[in-house]
Structure 1
């Protein structure tokens, strides 16, 4: 009987492994592992929870070993309670590895931006020399707070087929639970017994995802409590206002300034009446005197340092610096609001219909009679009122006493925030080599990038940047300068450089060919869906050059796009002006944007021909 059962076991699991080959042929997506998994999330009356995971992974190739890697995070709020692992060789049926909690490695978790935190993780890595293998894993973690509930993603890895996956959430009915289902196509079962609600979501036969899989189509489940507690601070987030009120209470009383520092703040704005000027002065003082250090200590990294400690140590994280800036403005009788945001240059917006903890960063909102002044208090480069791409165009939660509200940060998608102007003087010699002097002005989003170059790259790296980003390849920068010329909240940078360029034009026996030098547009020009670009050239030609044919002229005018290229000869000077203005519709996909770029670049890719009269005269019959 034992042999019979073992044979059935091996056949069924080998069939799973062989199934991957069939699916691979059908879908042309490599399958490295096959997963079946059941998770149980149990929420308790005291606002704690336990999370149990039971999974089996059939690893069919070396690449699938990463899918069997286990990482369990813990800190002051979370603990690892259980871990059991067994690895079987599916060909022989033998157990080749067992592990328990004591066998796991332990490491500190450091993000790329965090200096101080108390986050660690337990881990276990599976190794194997031949395949297929089956990895069975049971784990359980516990948390002291239901404020941070895990999301459920039935397909956790690329190139992984899921035969079945389920999540059961059990919670005291009186505490409440909110959830949002995204792309789930399976079954849901809900029941209540003795004051406890149980909901089970089940998914089956989910296809392997390629690495270019659209994350918007990923099946997942978002969870959030209604009543919650973090440390001794309890609250309700049945609405955004409830979460905002809780956050305000969490920081209550932590904005008190030392008296001597408060006096310094008041002295900085003596005689200044304009509200923006006051904000600007205090913000620049913060930028110059306090540095950003990411700190994730304490109750989930949600409560700010005191303003007094930030003053004492001259550093703080986003919470501490924002709280200090708020306290400084309060001292100057300027109200402001501590604001939660989900930040990141490529981050998606939050789910606005699911009031919950969806934030990872803090900024400051200063209300005015017209529009708010937004402050990114971790930046020592950006002007007051400009957030940059880290937090632009996001729904944010403005907190205030007793509540708060969702609003949206600026999108910076109009021309004034996306403009580049360039003026170049070029002196050509008889061999087509050039001396170039260029002055550029960058506005808004483009200026913010140049601010990064100025503030974060050394001289060698800055020269490399100029060489790489020249409109014509081969530029050798001899001298340059970068200056900041902000216009209130609009970032403005001025970049000037002198350089040499061999073979700016190509020479033949009788002609000189001025190759395209205006610079092509690339995807980075369209990042913010808007662009105004003006390029002007004053090119001093050799005395012996005469224009051969008509000078190019280009005019483009259609919906959302205007472009003009004009050239004129004045004595021995060729004057060139190109002006582009475009607004990209938000519904335009990447391929359509690429096609638009090709269209624009092709239209302005023009060559100018000159006759070299010196060469022509030396080879004419009269001179033979």
Structure 2
């Protein structure tokens, strides 16, 4: 190890140790970090990362800050490693950590069939504190398709004494970077064709978990790049898309047996929309999703013929197969990249780079564009759902990449549910119910895969929890799905009992106006259109004590109207709710709105008992 670096980190560590005795920071810290990262890009596009890190652990809450994690794969190879534990009070090495002592585990989800993304790991145990963890390692990356982002601060509740980054690269290949939450300009120099940039920070205060959006970091992006021999330019979306187009050359070939399957599915169909639906249904019924991430296969789709033979593929392979099948019947479609996930952020369209984790298919017709999620067994044709809706995407064409956006599904047709409930109230406050519920668009999501993912008993339990308020016990139900103009609809007819539907006293019965409450998930899209009808049959020994309530609540976020009437032992309640806030509402704002909508519907109808 470099003696100057060791002496410097020891001095900083001991300074932090004695300062910690009087630690009274606004945000407490459990460790003190000093680290240096060097990134070297070579003419042959290889990238070398050299990392030196010293962490002084002060508190057992910061033990995890000393853990060692080094990702590696076929593309990222660990070239050197040294680790040691040091007692700062004596300056003595307590333990040397060799590469053989690092654990090795898979870094991808359990759904992966093949994968080379792995992690070398060393976990801190019950070491006596304070303790210094020093690490030096070198990783070589075969291609500069992406660079690791730089984080001056590694953990929450951690103080940083010093953080430095140095990047060296050939001028001919170029480099881009984008800083977040800091403005520090780099020191720069040039020696011949090599450019050097460096950043140095000192004395960074700790952050708490709730300050996550203040964390400093920097994205490092290539201009010219290469991955396993495929060279291209990432400085704009058009050129970046051309690289993906190269990866797809020759991947769409279909075998004779696959051609037979394709034409069998569309036999007798005339309209393109019919053919798309038939082939999409064939894909869902005959192929399954698995993750495959070996080297460049993390970005290159499998051959259509290979997916056809194996009957499985990852998102790129399944999307490419669907594209090939449509091409066989004369329908053009485009392989499309997206950053998918319900809680994932949209891509930054101002910075062309690899910001994607998923592939879908775009099918442009004369009068509309159809989007296909080729990994889903349950999505109806043309409906992406929560996973990839309202996202900017990179569409891959022969002429390069173009930016488009997936539907946001804000129209009423995608955000409607209708319910009709016939309820027979019993003397003990329980009730019998017969219901017909129709969910259109986003609200249908919960019910699209019910048949294929759950058995009969679990289906009833799911419906008991999700069809209405508390106390529902379903006896029988019938579920049907259909799609109209690419809007999925789930229709559920059911019968069951409602436990403790009404509240009984010696002289009165309180009957709720709002048995089916709105969930937070119902509000996630910002738009919701609800029409609820209740026909509540009660005993002839009950009559309204007061005038039946009529509710009108109109504001900027929603409009609510509830009308009630009474005739010959039947209470009729009709509710219309429309929400119209922006779908950017999240967290506490969404919770407050959800509570507000339901509270506005809470009042009960009071009936008195007739002797």
Q: What TM-score do the two structures reach when normalised by structure 2?
A: 0.95
Distance 1:567 1:21, change over 3 A: farther
Q: Cα offset for 1:424?
A: 0.8
Select the residue among 537, 555, 559 that pairs with 1:558: 555
Aligned ranges 1:456-475 → 2 under 5 Å: 456-475=453-472
Q: Cα offset for 1:467?
A: 2.6
Structure 1 runs of 4+ aligned residues shifted over 4 Å read 6-12, 20-23, 586-589
Select the residue among 79, 96, 99 that pairs with 1:98: 96
How far, CA to CA, are the matches of 1:588 and 1:392 in structure 2? 16
SS of aligned partner of 2:416 = strand
Aligned ranges 1:298-447 → 2 under 5 Å: 298-447=295-444
Aligned ranges 1:528-547 → 2 under 5 Å: 528-547=525-544
Please say which of residues 244-253 and 517-526 is displaced more in the overlay: 517-526
Q: Cα offset for 1:598?
A: 3.1
2:189 corresponds to 1:218? no
How far, CA to CA, are the matches of 1:269 and 1:73 in structure 2? 46
Q: Do the aligned residues in 2 keep the contact of 1:87 with 1:135 (CA within 8 Å)?
A: yes
How far, CA to CA, are the matches of 2:11 and 2:203 in structure 1? 19
How far, CA to CA, are the matches of 1:568 and 1:18 in structure 2? 76
Residue 25 of structure 2 is matched in structure 1 by 26
Deviations 1:265-299 (A, max 9, x none): 12322342322222111111111111111111242
Q: Cα offset for 1:405?
A: 0.5
Q: Do the aligned residues in 2 keep the contact of 1:254 with 1:307 (CA within 8 Å)?
A: yes
Please say which of residues 354-363 and 500-509 is displaced more in the overlay: 500-509
Q: Do the aligned residues in 2 keep the contact of 1:338 with 1:398 (CA within 8 Å)?
A: yes
How far, CA to CA, are the matches of 1:50 and 1:537 in structure 2? 68
Select the residue among 121, 132, 135 that pairs with 2:133: 135
Residue 227 of structure 2 is matched in structure 1 by 230
Residue 3 of structure 1 is matched in structure 2 by none
Residue 524 of structure 1 is matched in structure 2 by 521
Distance 1:534 1:17, change over 3 A: farther
Q: Cα offset for 1:468?
A: 2.5
Residue 52 of structure 1 is matched in structure 2 by 50
How far, CA to CA, are the matches of 2:18 and 2:411 in structure 1? 55
Q: Do the aligned residues in 2 keep the contact of 1:10 with 1:91 (CA within 8 Å)?
A: no
Select the residue among 259, 280, 284 that pairs with 2:281: 284
Q: Cα offset for 1:187?
A: 4.2
Please say which of residues 260-269 and 387-396 is displaced more in the overlay: 260-269
SS of aligned partner of 2:301 = coil
Q: Cα offset for 1:18?
A: 4.6
Q: Do the aligned residues in 2 keep the contact of 1:423 with 1:438 (CA within 8 Å)?
A: yes
Aligned ranges 1:488-507 → 2 under 5 Å: 488-507=485-504
How far, CA to CA, are the matches of 2:477 and 2:52 in structure 1? 61
Residue 606 of structure 1 is matched in structure 2 by 603
Q: Cα offset for 1:412?
A: 1.6
Distance 1:21 1:561, change over 3 A: farther
How far, CA to CA, are the matches of 2:236 and 2:256 in structure 1? 38
Distance 1:346 1:113, change over 3 A: farther
2:271 corresponds to 1:274? yes
Residue 13 of structure 2 is matched in structure 1 by 13
How far, CA to CA, are the matches of 1:8 and 1:102 in structure 2? 28
2:116 corresponds to 1:108? no
Q: Cα offset for 1:94?
A: 2.4
How far, CA to CA, are the matches of 2:264 and 2:585 in structure 1? 51
How far, CA to CA, are the matches of 1:597 and 1:448 in structure 2? 19
Q: Cα offset for 1:259?
A: 1.8
Q: Cα offset for 1:453?
A: 3.7
Q: Do the aligned residues in 2 keep the contact of 1:77 with 1:300 (CA within 8 Å)?
A: no
- For structure 2, which runs of at least 5 residues remain unmatched after alignment? 1-5
How far, CA to CA, are the matches of 2:349 and 2:142 in structure 1? 27
Q: Cα offset for 1:546?
A: 0.8
How far, CA to CA, are the matches of 1:601 and 1:261 in structure 2? 53
Aligned ranges 1:242-281 → 2 under 5 Å: 242-281=239-278
Deviations 1:374-416 (A, max 9, x none): 0000011111111111111111110111312111111123332
Q: Do the aligned residues in 2 keep the contact of 1:32 with 1:159 (CA within 8 Å)?
A: yes
How far, CA to CA, are the matches of 1:537 and 1:516 in structure 2? 9
Q: What TM-score do the two structures reach when normalised by structure 1?
A: 0.93
Residue 585 of structure 1 is matched in structure 2 by 582
Q: Do the aligned residues in 2 keep the contact of 1:184 with 1:203 (CA within 8 Å)?
A: no
SS of aligned partner of 1:284 = helix
Q: Do the aligned residues in 2 keep the contact of 1:507 with 1:513 (CA within 8 Å)?
A: yes
Q: Do the aligned residues in 1 keep the contact of 2:560 with 2:578 (CA within 8 Å)?
A: yes
How far, CA to CA, are the matches of 1:21 and 1:476 in structure 2? 60
Distance 1:255 1:22, change over 3 A: farther
SS of aligned partner of 1:276 = helix
Q: Cα offset for 1:11?
A: 7.7
How far, CA to CA, are the matches of 1:10 and 1:224 in structure 2? 34
Q: Cα offset for 1:542?
A: 1.0
Please say which of residues 585-594 and 230-239 is displaced more in the overlay: 585-594
Q: Do the aligned residues in 1 keep the contact of 2:39 with 2:50 (CA within 8 Å)?
A: yes
Q: Do the aligned residues in 1 keep the contact of 2:82 with 2:136 (CA within 8 Å)?
A: yes
Q: Cα offset for 1:133?
A: 0.9
Residue 78 of structure 1 is matched in structure 2 by 76
How far, CA to CA, are the matches of 2:508 and 2:223 in structure 1? 78
How far, CA to CA, are the matches of 1:237 and 1:545 in structure 2? 75
SS of aligned partner of 1:136 = strand
SS of aligned partner of 1:151 = coil
Distance 1:469 1:18, change over 3 A: farther
Q: Cα offset for 1:589?
A: 5.5
Residue 549 of structure 1 is matched in structure 2 by 546
Q: Cα offset for 1:348?
A: 0.3
Distance 1:384 1:437, change over 3 A: same
How far, CA to CA, are the matches of 2:520 and 2:205 in structure 1? 32
Residue 162 of structure 2 is matched in structure 1 by 164
Q: Do the aligned residues in 1 keep the contact of 2:513 with 2:573 (CA within 8 Å)?
A: no
Q: Cα offset for 1:8?
A: 11
Residue 194 of structure 1 is matched in structure 2 by 192
Q: Cα offset for 1:261?
A: 1.8
Q: Cα offset for 1:106?
A: 2.2
Q: Do the aligned residues in 1 keep the contact of 2:73 with 2:118 (CA within 8 Å)?
A: yes
Q: Cα offset for 1:22?
A: 5.3
Q: Cα offset for 1:516?
A: 4.7
Q: Do the aligned residues in 2 keep the contact of 1:337 with 1:400 (CA within 8 Å)?
A: yes
Q: Cα offset for 1:43?
A: 0.5
Distance 1:483 1:171, change over 3 A: same
Kindly tell me the number of residue pairs found equivalent between the two proteins.
Answer: 606
